[in-house]
Amino acid sequence: MLEFQNVTFQYAEDDYQMMKDLSFQVEEGAFVSIIGASGCGKSTIFRLINGLEQPQSGQIFYDGKPISSLSHFSAYMPQKDLLFPWRTVGQNLALPLEIGRVPKAEQQQKVRAMLKEVGLSDYENRYPKELSGGMRQRAAFARTLLTGSRLLLLDEPFSALDSLTKIALQQWLLQEWEKYRQTVLFVTHDVEEAIFLSDRVLVVYDRPITHLEAYPIPLPHPRNREDLKRPDMQELKEKLIKELGGGSL
């Protein structure tokens, strides 16, 4: 379980607080999305979890331990896929294993199994520039999984994709999650995407962020896009879009 306890944070360059006394919890194995306006601090929440930034006060716990005492408990997939262009797809996937000093033969075995899992077996020796946007995101996701972390921080992984690829990858991601049940924190601008994927949607309304408003998504698994047509889901979608300031110029 991940827990923010009264976290207050401000970037040194900024003259305003980003979050103040923010507390929230994400239970083990949950799929939780965070939505909110651009610049409201969603990526900053991830930067605090993975230790790129430190809170001025308050603490973040994972499994009851302060995160400053832990390493490799979370895997961060940033907004840009950040595959290394000079490495093949296979070499990109091997990176977390290299860092973890996994023996070479085992690396290769794990990378090949993961490439198969994400449907990229034929691309092991290709370079990222030879892949489509959707394939690159699957490769970046595969690399994130190979860190072995049980907490995945996915920052708008599908936002740069065309809508059909995006829908296909949402379904694919849900299947992966239903199989492995890692804890997923997922940032998106897309209200429908958040509803379709999540157990719970957390909405950022205020600045500084003092709380995250939680909306449970009572859809059963496995999910189907048809579920989005349910009147209660339609209603929630319209409500969230309106509250986030959408639909007006």
Ligand X SMILES: Nc1ncnc2c1ncn2[C@@H]1O[C@H](COP(=O)(O)OP(=O)(O)OP(=O)(O)O)[C@@H](O)[C@H]1O
Residues that bind ligand X (CB under 6 A): 11, 13-14, 18, 36, 38-44
8 or 108: whose CB is closer to ligand X?
Answer: 8
- C-alpha 194: how far from its chain's center? 11
CB of 177 to ligand X, least distance (A): 22
How big is the CA angle at 64 (ends 46 and 20), to the nearest 5 degrees? Answer: 45
Q: Which does 41 bind (CB under 5 to 8 A by kind): ligand X, Mg ion, none?
A: ligand X
42 or 143: whose CB is closer to Mg ion?
Answer: 42
| Contacts to Mg ion from residues 34-53, by CB under 5 A | 42-43
* Residue 135 CA: distances (Å) to CA of 76, 161, 168: 18, 10, 11
CB of 145 to ligand X, least distance (A): 23
Q: List, as one string, the DSSP characters of 152-191.
A: EEEESTTTTS-HHHHHHHHHHHHHHHHHH--EEEEE-S-H
14 or 122: whose CB is closer to ligand X?
Answer: 14
CB of 187 to Mg ion, least distance (A): 6
CB of 178 to Mg ion, least distance (A): 26
Q: Which does 110 bind (CB under 5 to 8 A by kind): Mg ion, ligand X, none?
A: none
Residues 6 or more apart whose CB falls under 8 angstroms from that of 144 comprise: 75, 76, 77, 152, 154
Q: Should residue 33 be labelled a site residue for Mg ion when binding is judged by CB under 5 A?
A: no
* Residue 125 structure tokens: 């020796």
